[in-house]
């Protein structure tokens, strides 16, 4: 059945915002899509990858992803790249030049903001990039908007030869809604046109493009005043009116169903005159925007009287429970929000997976004293938590090596005898860590690097990376050799070790040996992420309760499958109290990785189906 037939036979489908963006890219005739995985944007490319006529790739990082999309656009094809909000920080170097060059084939940049920090190191407002880079910003409010606006964005990009930012948030990306599809477009690629004065941004050429960019700003501002994405919804009351966009629109409409409002689908450039006229029609005007007061600042600068962040919180999602009391206070009323029963949920701290190959590493690190450990972004960030407490810093993606180098070079006499370590994952090392290692070797640093190669982008769901030897479709491709790569970056071959992280004695020895060496060294761990098909489960384990002494050494591994069955307080011969923790193992969750066996002196942990000692996990 063709896509057109599907549209006619299935008028509405129930999908998430991420899937809606993917479908829209397909239906808009997009030919190239690229991304680096990052919550909440990851699924956009995973859905697009299912369309065989559309080239897709997991790029090494967000800058490369954007540059791939830029290249496709300049070649005349419609292109989309997707990233989470912090990814645009990485991609911004390419973005800030592309704003001068503009687009040929429609170029859409989907940026997903993690409003509320569900899985990010900071909260950012990507609408800033529209102001900074002189680009239009579209903000969907639900899955239907995500589909419609993505298609609109491709047309807008080509009409004004400008990249278009599609600003998403977690609530839009992951919440599902009904979407009515439109008939797909067929967009053939255009012939590449040589134009060095536009495409080669040497200073002389770039200088000539700036007036064109500023003129484009004016044109887009005029367009925004009549853009069909900017809508006035007339209410039945005049006491308060709202200006809003994105997910906040749905929250405002739920909290104030009778209030008039302007829903900005194209929030930058803002339709200033449209808003000015609307402001005159209500007694109080309130801007509801997540996260920063961008619109508020612009509108106040235009002389429009309104209320904003002096009443509305500046961080987190602006749900009805947040908006309603804030506006009530602004109107001098009591909080009118209806009390909603809240079910208390038992707190569950984030932790690593059962049998994660990182468990043994952090178990060892927690027992290696006199260290300063720089961490990085990924699953291994969880090493900062209980029971390991084995990270001292975590700044941004790929920063661990450079930060460790700074700690090494900037340490005081008091820290002179401490060992400096950096921990980084395979995909993160390829994303931004390689440069840090080169800096360490080039500038003669003294850092021990743990390169945790689990052959996947584990935190975002186990996507393939160059370390896996598989591309986005699971097809075989180049597989990076980290030993050779580290050697090429200046680490002496005898200082590079590859170890199985499930073999604790070997891992301990490698760590203790390398921290003594006064030069850069790398310990590469080599077992796959347990969430990928490359991981091979072993027979599960159980606890012989007659042998368990309650020493709790196995709990220090941090495996979620090991559970405390009972505690008992005893008096030691020296008179001190000691709490014993007797454990059992959730055999249904256990994959028999063998880590806990290595910590159990009385041999109380045994296989469920065999008493034979289990070999280490094997690679497929």
Annotated binding-site members: 548, 551, 554, 559, 590, 593, 596, 600
Determine the Cα–Cα distance for residues 350 and 154; give it in Å rounded to an integer. 39
The CA-based dihedral angle spanning residues 561, 566, 569, 570, taken in that order and rounded to the nearest 10 degrees: -90
Longest distance between any two alpha carbons in the chain, whole Å: 86
DSSP letter at 308 equals -
Q: Confirm if 97 and 90 have CB atoms less than 8 A apart.
A: no
For the chain, helix, strand, coil in percent to 5 are: 35, 20, 45
Residue 147 DSSP SS3: helix
Determine the Cα–Cα distance for residues 491 and 422; give it in Å rounded to an integer. 15
Determine the Cα–Cα distance for residues 284 and 333; give it in Å rounded to an integer. 14
| Binding-site annotation: residue ranges for [4Fe-4S] cluster | 548, 551, 554, 559, 590, 593, 596, 600
Which of 584, 569, 68, 259 minimizes the C-alpha distance to 251? 259
Determine the Cα–Cα distance for residues 317 and 70; give it in Å rounded to an integer. 32
- Angle made by CA atoms 521, 525, 529, in degrees to the nearest 5: 145
Q: What is the 3-state secondary structure (H, E, C) of 59-83?
A: CCCHHHHHHHHHHHHHCCCCEEEEE
Kind and range of the H or E run holding 322: helix 320-330
| Cis ω for the linkage preceding 40 (within 30 of 0) | yes
Both tokens of 195, joined, read: 């134009």
Going along 170-308, which residue ranges are E strands? 176-179, 230-233, 240-244, 261-264, 266-268, 284-288
Kind and range of the H or E run holding 410: helix 400-410
116: left (phi over 0), alpha (psi -120 to 50) or beta: left
The CA-based dihedral angle spanning residues 597, 599, 605, 606, taken in that order and rounded to the nearest 10 degrees: 20
Determine the Cα–Cα distance for residues 231 and 229; give it in Å rounded to an integer. 6
Determine the Cα–Cα distance for residues 163 and 137; give it in Å rounded to an integer. 10
């Amino acid at each position: 059945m063709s896509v057109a037939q599907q549209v006619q036979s299935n008028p509405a489908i129930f999908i998430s915002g991420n899937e809606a963006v993917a479908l829209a890219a397909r239906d808009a005739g997009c030919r190239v899509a690229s991304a680096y995985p990052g919550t909440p944007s990851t699924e956009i490319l995973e859905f697009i990858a299912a369309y065989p006529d559309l080239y897709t790739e997991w790029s090494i990082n967000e800058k490369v992803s954007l540059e791939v999309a830029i290249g496709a656009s300049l070649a005349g094809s419609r292109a989309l790249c997707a990233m989470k909000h912090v990814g645009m920080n990485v991609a911004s170097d390419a973005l800030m030049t592309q704003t001068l060059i503009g687009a040929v084939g429609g170029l859409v940049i989907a940026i997903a903001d993690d409003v509320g920090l569900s899985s990010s190191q900071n909260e950012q407002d990507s609408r800033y990039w529209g102001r900074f880079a002189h680009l239009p910003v579209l903000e969907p409010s639900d899955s239907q908007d995500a589909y419609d606006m993505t298609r609109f964005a491709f047309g807008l990009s080509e009409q004004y030869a400008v990249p278009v930012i599609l600003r998403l948030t977690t609530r839009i990306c992951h919440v599902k809604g009904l979407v009515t599809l439109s008939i797909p477009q067929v967009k053939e690629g255009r012939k590449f046109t040589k134009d060095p004065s536009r495409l080669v941004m040497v200073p002389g050429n770039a200088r000539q493009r700036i007036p064109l960019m500023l003129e484009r700003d004016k044109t887009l501002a005029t367009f925004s005043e009549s853009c069909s994405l900017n809508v006035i919804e007339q209410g039945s009351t005049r006491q308060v009116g709202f200006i809003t966009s994105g997910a906040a629109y749905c929250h405002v409409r739920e909290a104030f169903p009778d209030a008039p409002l302007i829903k900005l689908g194209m929030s930058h450039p803002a339709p200033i005159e449209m808003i000015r006229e609307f402001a005159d029609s209500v007694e109080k005007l309130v801007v509801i925007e997540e996260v920063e007061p961008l619109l508020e600042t612009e509108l106040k600068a235009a002389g429009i009287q309104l209320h904003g962040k002096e009443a509305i919180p500046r961080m987190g999602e602006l749900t009805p429970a947040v908006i309603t009391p804030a506006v009530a206070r602004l109107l001098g009323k009591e909080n009118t929000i209806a009390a909603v029963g809240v079910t208390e949920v038992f707190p569950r701290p984030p932790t690593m997976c059962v049998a994660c190959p990182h468990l043994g590493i952090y178990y060892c690190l927690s027992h290696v004293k006199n260290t300063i450990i720089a961490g990085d972004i990924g699953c291994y960030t969880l090493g900062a938590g209980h029971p390991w407490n084995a990270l001292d810093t975590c700044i941004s993606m790929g920063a661990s090596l450079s930060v460790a180098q700074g700690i090494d070079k900037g340490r005081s006499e008091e820290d002179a005898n401490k060992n400096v370590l950096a921990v980084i994952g395979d995909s993160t090392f390829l994303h931004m860590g390689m440069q840090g290692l080169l800096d360490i070797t080039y500038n003669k640093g003294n850092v021990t690097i743990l390169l945790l190669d689990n052959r996947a982008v584990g935190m975002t769901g186990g996507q393939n990376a160059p370390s896996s030897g598989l591309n986005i479709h699971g097809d075989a491709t180049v597989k990076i050799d980290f030993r050779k790569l580290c050697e090429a970056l200046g680490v002496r071959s005898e200082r590079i070790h590859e170890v199985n992280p499930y073999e604790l004695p070997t891992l301990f020895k490698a760590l203790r040996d390398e921290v003594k060496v006064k030069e850069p060294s790398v310990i590469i761990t080599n077992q796959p992420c347990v969430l990928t098909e490359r991981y091979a489960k072993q027979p599960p384990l159980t606890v012989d309760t007659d042998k368990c002494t309650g020493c709790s050494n196995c709990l220090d591994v941090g495996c979620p499958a090991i559970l405390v069955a009972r505690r008992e307080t005893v008096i030691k011969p020296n008179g001190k109290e000691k709490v014993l923790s007797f454990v059992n193992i959730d055999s249904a969750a256990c994959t028999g990785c063998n880590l806990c066996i290595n910590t159990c002196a009385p041999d109380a942990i045994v296989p469920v189906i065999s008493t034979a000692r289990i070999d280490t996990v094997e690679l497929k």
